[in-house]
Amino acid sequence: MGIPFIDIHIQRMMNFLGFAQNYIIKNNPIVAIIASLESTLRDFLTFGKKMKMAKYRVNYQQYKFNQMQELIAQNNEHVFLKGRTLNEIR
């Protein structure tokens, strides 16, 4: 009576180990960890370049914003200087 009970558990354990082995072969966690580590390292090493590009974009947007403000000031009759310096008006 005790022997078939043990055989069923051993068979279930063998089935589980087979499923686990096939899962590990199909979805190798070591390869996934290495790929994640590699991408993190690549991002860390290129951080300076990305920061420089972001600063360039921000400066360019500020430049375009300032240009737009100057155009608005030049064409607005209610602004005192109208985009000109004080020495030009004298």
Q: What is the DSSP string of 70-88?
A: HHHHHH-TTSSSTT--HHH
User: Which pLDDT tens digit goes with each residue over 6-41?
Assistant: 889 999 999 999 999 999 889 888 898 999 999 999
pLDDT at residue 77 in the model: 65
pTM of whole model > 0.75? no
**Domains contained in the chain, number:** 2
pLDDT at residue 70 in the model: 83
Give the chain's mean pLDDT.
84
Do residues 1 and 37 both lie within one domain? yes
Phi, psi of 13 (to 5 degrees): -65, -40
Tokens 């899962």, located at residue: 23
pLDDT at residue 73 in the model: 73
Do residues 54 and 26 both lie within one domain? no
Do residues 36 and 63 both lie within one domain? no
Do residues 90 and 54 both lie within one domain? yes
Which letter does DSSP use for residue 46 in this model? T
Domain span holding position 27: 1-45
Do residues 9 and 32 both lie within one domain? yes
